[in-house]
Structure 1
Amino acid sequence: MINYEFTTGILDIPLQDNENDMLQILSFETALNEFIRKTLTPISIALQGEWGSGKTSFMNRLNFDICKGNNAASYGIWLNTWHYALSKNKDSILEEIILALINDVLTISKKEYPDKFKNLAKDIYKVGKSIFKGISKIAVKTAVSQVNSDLADAVDETVFTEKSEAAYSLNDLKDKLTELINQLILRNIENGKPQKSIIFFIDDLDRIEPSLAVNILELLKNIFDIKHCIFILAIDYDVVVKGLKNKFGELNEQNEREFRSFFDKIIQLPFQMPVSSYNIEEYIEELLLSVEYLTEDEAQNSSVMQTLVRFTNLTVGTNPRSIKRLINSLSFVNLLIRSKSKLEKKEFRLTQDYKQIIFALTSLQTAFPDVFNLLTENPNIENWNHDFAKRINIEISKDNTQNFTLWENIIYSFCNKKEYLKRNGYNIISIVKEMQIIAENNYRKLHEILPETIELLSVTNVKSEKIKPKLEINEIRVLYALNQRLIPTINQKLREPLKFVERKGRMIAKITYKFDKEKKNNTISLAVSIKHNNIYLQIGGIVELFAVSDVAKDAWTIIEQIGKTEVLNQISADFISLAEKYEQINLANTSRKALLIRKGHIALEQKFQIVAENTEYLYSETIIDELSNFIVDYMLLIYKIKEINWDPK
């Protein structure tokens, strides 16, 4: 394993020279290296791949291996077209690029043989006079002076003289460059020097305007299609297609051959960046260790790493730039959690499972921001309902051949509305389902974890929509208004053994209802709060199951010891069935998580919840009717639980 100095951010810069290749594509690099060393010339090689796929890093390493050091096989010339594309004088970009390449060739020849090519250099710039009229005198003279101070004066005399001279063509310029390069390589052979070619590394062609990129390709082909010249171009076929639209129109089956013929004429070897072969597990592991998101033990856990790699593959894929952005977001969230813990004087350490959930959400945020924003709008994903679907303009298909749950159907339908998400709907659902499993392994529901996690990640989110106004309520007034509506409605729905309903105690932080005068703990409480700009109405109560003497043990261990795990599992199933009966009311915790020891008793604090955007929705007839029915059903279930015999088997 590589020993890293810990850092907080990963730089998005290409690998330089012989830096360690964590993606492990040495076999591809070695093969292309050998091809370049042994190929006949002239030849052009296209490195194809999306932005951030590692083209520049790949070229840097080729440049280092072939063109640097005492036994370099070739001369290397590097040109970043993006820098020239930023020029204020757009009309002179092509000329400036060609001039820069010529200048680099002359620099090499002067360095190798200072006194041999003066006259030829003058001829090259003389020929260029009629070709590069768009370049200012200052630009040309500055470039030439870098090669030879004597030439700078010659330029004034030959290129910028007022005397009329014959017009020259690109072929004339090509002939002069051919003569220069041939003489350079010939002298190298005579003098036993290893360099037998010049490699032109042309970078960032896919970052500039496509039609300009195509013009550069054509110009390079016309001028530098010369023996001993090798061009390595960072450009994708799609860029060529976009650049040729004005010439051939939109790409279709009828004209596809014309686009391909142009590309084949310029490029003799298309090389697709082997992103599918990248070893991203080691790459991700090293980056996560470097920002201290994972501990050494966690990084050695194959199950954890396989999960993280799976999340990565299903979202950002193997693009190194996207992975770096993902890691930077994780690093910041990790630091934010530490900072909050320190300020609040609470010791909090991210668990291994919680790290996986944060990783999954951050991956969604990085690759599919619209899906992350959907989760931000309503983190209560497992309890999404038809009202939520309607609010976000999603029409749920009645033909549910995939047997989707409602939340799965909403995500799938949401993805189908956006072109870039269509092919990723199943992947996104798969990620959320895996997050559910991770949460349930910790006896929690995913919607218990999502709100707090999404709030942490909101600071690294990119969202163009208008921010929803901050929701503010008076909790006591909301509880009072609910009570006024609920009491008469519940009274109408009471069934045996429920005798009556009345409020118990003062209404400060919650409403508590009791249903008989004898039995204790047969109550249900309602509390209201604001979370993530929504109103959360929490519903539930504490029911004591049986007394215990050994309170040092945890509640689940005691249930196991008395042989009542099946009984508790049935209670859990009953609570789940109760939640499923009501569309607007959702289970907020698992029965295993709800189990506790309280005042010398094993007790169960089962929670349910309603999530509302505003109080009007909470006070609506639909919600009041459903909530009152739920309260009655809940209390009937509590009475049933109180009758259970908890004597040990």
Structure 2
Amino acid sequence: MRLKKCQPVAIDAADPFKNDVLDRKANVEILTQFITSYEQSIVLCIDAGWGQGKTTFIKMWQQYLKKLDIPTIYFNAWESDYTDDALIALIGEIGLAIDNLSGENKSKAKGLFSTLKNKIGYLAKDASLKEWLPIVATIGSLISGGRIKADKIAEFTANLGASLAKDQIEKYEKSKQVLFEFKQELSRLAECYCGNDDKKPLVIFIDELDRCRPNFAIEVLEKAKHLFNVDNIIFVLATDKTQLGHSIRAVYGQGLDVNGYLRRFIDFDYLLPSPVRSDFIVSLSKQLGLDKYLINRITFFAGPLGIILQNLISLYNLTLREQEALCNILNIAVRTRSYFLEDNRVLVLFLLSILKLKFPDLYKSLNKYNKSNFISNVLENINSHYPDNTDNTDNIDNIDNIDNDTYYLKFLEFLECMLLSVIRPASQFSYEETVDDYVRKYNFNDVKKQKLIDSFDMVKGFEITIQELLLIKDTIEISSSFTLNWAV
């Protein structure tokens, strides 16, 4: 009965894919072959939505590259978002990685890194501000006792105009030279990480870019492309391009062509495949001890819990992050209110928790004054998520086993009947009458009608009331107020 929390996916040093329940190994192997076949520097974007496991993916990939003796650096952009300059943050992360080197390469890398730091002063974004400080100080000296010496200021600014023009030209020429030298030194530094093996690039992973402040995210892209575009370095961005696009528009305006803008910085996109029918939620339920606990609670519904969970998350398209949130809710709910969550109430807990995650407005509409509308809308929602051709189990998409599919469909039909019992209690209506009305409303065929009748036979004695629905909602609210560490 003790609570557990979801742990981050463990990346085994000897076998990076030991705990890979999403079958990402093939994706990593393909991408590794891709990046090692390029001689030039490239920027590769691993594009996936929120909660689809980007961080775990690139950390598995990073460990896989380490096993191949390909040097890597992991840079969490969001954790460095507090800095004012992305260049400083990137160079700092490269400097920290020097400690992982040894022998002559380490000694050489330290010397090159020291040279890089000296050149950063010319490239950092506050350098121009420092040059203006003496000018501001001089103008300030021409203001005495609150009186402005207009003639002196006019003479100063006239001379300043010519001086600044000359200075800006010289500064431009100097910055170009410094940038050239910076890239040369950076390329040599990358060679130290690679052990002078020109077939092994330094791979820099940049994570959580879509969570950064818009200005910082843009600056990271600019620095990665313009300053780090040197031999021996490959950048891999793990980001949600849709969310990153929102950040870019926040800076440059809603009319900006984001895809066109990003093409300036990103050479290749790789859309991380969404996990389909994965074992992730089954793995989480075992990690938390929910599998045995829930099976013991659901005594009358003889169906494999793992198959039911897999199909529910597939139907409702739950992301990995949402699957974990669902397990967190179930984990806390069944252990803190175990006296209440027996049999049918646990099944309703599944449904309401999913509604909270995917359809929050529908979930919030549940109250004692809105009973009929809420049930009607939820039934509509359930029916909209049924696969096509549910009457012929041989033709249902993404179903590998007819017996497993039967459990899964029975589960949904059972939920429908329980919800119907909220607004049409058995003490007032016969279940045949309730089914007839429901079948007419949705124009179901006779096969579906018979399945509902069979499910109502199971529901007898397990009806649920609006008060119990509200109590389950209250349980979900208590459970979801506890935020646990994400596993993905």
Residue identity opposite 2:187 in structure 1? I
The Cα shift of 1:292 comes to 3.3
Which residue matches 1:372? 363
Which residue matches 2:331? 331
Question: Aligned partners of 1:170 and 1:15: how far apart in 2?
Answer: 45
Q: Helix, strand or coil: the match of 2:468?
A: helix
The Cα shift of 1:15 comes to 4.7
Root-mean-square deviation over aligned CA pairs:
4.1
Give the alignment's TM-score, normalised by structure 1: 0.49
Question: Aligned partners of 1:289 and 1:118: how far apart in 2?
Answer: 47
Question: Aligned partners of 1:448 and 1:47: how far apart in 2?
Answer: 46
Q: Helix, strand or coil: the match of 2:122?
A: coil
Question: Aligned partners of 1:36 and 1:441: how far apart in 2?
Answer: 59
Which residue matches 1:459? 475
Distance 1:370 1:298, change over 3 A: same
Residue identity opposite 2:342 in structure 1? L
Residue identity opposite 1:310 in structure 2? N
Which residue matches 2:450? none
Q: How does 1:106-505 map to 2 (within 5 A)?
A: 107=99, 113-117=105-109, 119-132=111-124, 134=126, 168-169=174-175, 172-173=178-179, 175-182=181-188, 185=191, 196-245=200-249, 249-251=253-255, 256=257, 259-275=258-274, 277-280=275-278, 282-295=279-292, 298=295, 304-315=305-316, 317-338=317-338, 340=339, 350-351=342-343, 354-378=345-369, 380=371, 384=372, 407-408=375-376, 426-427=384-385, 435-437=415-417, 440-444=456-460, 448-449=464-465, 451-461=467-477
Distance 1:458 1:130, change over 3 A: same
The Cα shift of 1:22 comes to 1.5
Distance 1:308 1:288, change over 3 A: same
Which residue matches 1:517? none
Tell me if 1:66 matches 2:65.
yes
The Cα shift of 1:109 comes to 6.4
Q: Helix, strand or coil: the match of 1:350?
A: coil
Question: Aligned partners of 2:85 and 2:353: how far apart in 1?
Answer: 40
The Cα shift of 1:115 comes to 3.7
Q: Helix, strand or coil: the match of 1:231?
A: strand
Structure 1 contact 314–428 (Cα < 8 Å) conserved: yes
Residue identity opposite 2:320 in structure 1? P
Residue identity opposite 1:45 in structure 2? L
Distance 1:320 1:435, change over 3 A: same
Residue identity opposite 1:84 in structure 2? S
Question: Aligned partners of 1:108 and 1:170: how far apart in 2?
Answer: 32
Question: Aligned partners of 1:45 and 1:7: how far apart in 2?
Answer: 44
Question: Aligned partners of 1:220 and 1:56: how far apart in 2?
Answer: 19
The Cα shift of 1:371 comes to 1.7
Distance 1:264 1:243, change over 3 A: same
Structure 2 contact 109–189 (Cα < 8 Å) conserved: no
Residue identity opposite 2:269 in structure 1? P
Question: Aligned partners of 2:191 and 2:265: how far apart in 1?
Answer: 24
Residue identity opposite 2:21 in structure 1? M
| Superposed CA offset, 1:18-71 (max 9, x none) | 25012223322322233233333311111112222100000100110002x4x4
Structure 1 contact 84–96 (Cα < 8 Å) conserved: no
Q: Helix, strand or coil: the match of 1:270?
A: strand
The Cα shift of 1:236 comes to 2.2
The Cα shift of 1:100 comes to 1.6
Tell me if 1:80 matches 2:76.
yes
Question: Aligned partners of 1:368 and 1:297: how far apart in 2?
Answer: 24
Structure 1 contact 43–231 (Cα < 8 Å) conserved: yes
The Cα shift of 1:221 comes to 0.7
Structure 2 contact 205–236 (Cα < 8 Å) conserved: yes
Question: Aligned partners of 1:172 and 1:266: how far apart in 2?
Answer: 22
Residue identity opposite 2:55 in structure 1? T
Q: Which runs of 5+ in 1 are unaligned?
A: 1-5, 136-164, 342-348, 390-405, 416-423, 464-649
Which residue matches 1:623? none
The Cα shift of 1:461 comes to 1.8
Structure 1 contact 308–360 (Cα < 8 Å) conserved: no
Question: Aligned partners of 1:274 and 1:288: how far apart in 2?
Answer: 23
Question: Aligned partners of 2:386 and 2:465: how far apart in 1?
Answer: 18
Residue identity opposite 2:266 in structure 1? I
Tell me if 1:11 matches 2:17.
no
The Cα shift of 1:425 comes to 8.9
| The structure with more radius of gyration | 1
Question: Aligned partners of 1:187 and 1:212: how far apart in 2?
Answer: 27
Residue identity opposite 1:79 in structure 2? F
The answer to which structure, 1 or 2, has the higher relative contact order (CA under 8 A, 6+ apart) is 2
The Cα shift of 1:82 comes to 1.2
Structure 2 contact 87–220 (Cα < 8 Å) conserved: no
The Cα shift of 1:129 comes to 1.8
Q: Helix, strand or coil: the match of 2:23?
A: coil
Which stretch has the larger CA shift, 355-364 or 287-296? 287-296
Structure 1 contact 8–332 (Cα < 8 Å) conserved: yes
Q: Which runs of 5+ in 2 are unaligned?
A: 128-169, 388-408, 419-454, 480-488
Question: Aligned partners of 1:105 and 1:174: how far apart in 2?
Answer: 23
Question: Aligned partners of 1:63 and 1:378: how far apart in 2?
Answer: 54
Higher strand fraction (1 or 2): 1
Residue identity opposite 1:21 in structure 2? D
Q: Helix, strand or coil: the match of 1:241?
A: helix
The Cα shift of 1:228 comes to 1.1
Which residue matches 2:34? 35
The Cα shift of 1:174 comes to 5.3
| Superposed CA offset, 1:487-520 (max 9, x none) | xxxxxxxxxxxxxxxxxxxxxxxxxxxxxxxxxx
Q: Helix, strand or coil: the match of 2:8?
A: coil
Q: Helix, strand or coil: the match of 2:218?
A: helix
Structure 2 contact 368–466 (Cα < 8 Å) conserved: no
Residue identity opposite 1:355 in structure 2? V
Identity %: 18
The Cα shift of 1:208 comes to 1.2
Which residue matches 1:103? 95
Question: Aligned partners of 1:292 and 1:186: how far apart in 2?
Answer: 47
Which stretch has the larger CA shift, 369-378 or 220-229? 369-378
Residue identity opposite 2:123 in structure 1? I
Structure 2 contact 362–377 (Cα < 8 Å) conserved: no
Higher helix fraction (1 or 2): 2
Structure 1 contact 43–268 (Cα < 8 Å) conserved: yes
Distance 1:407 1:115, change over 3 A: closer
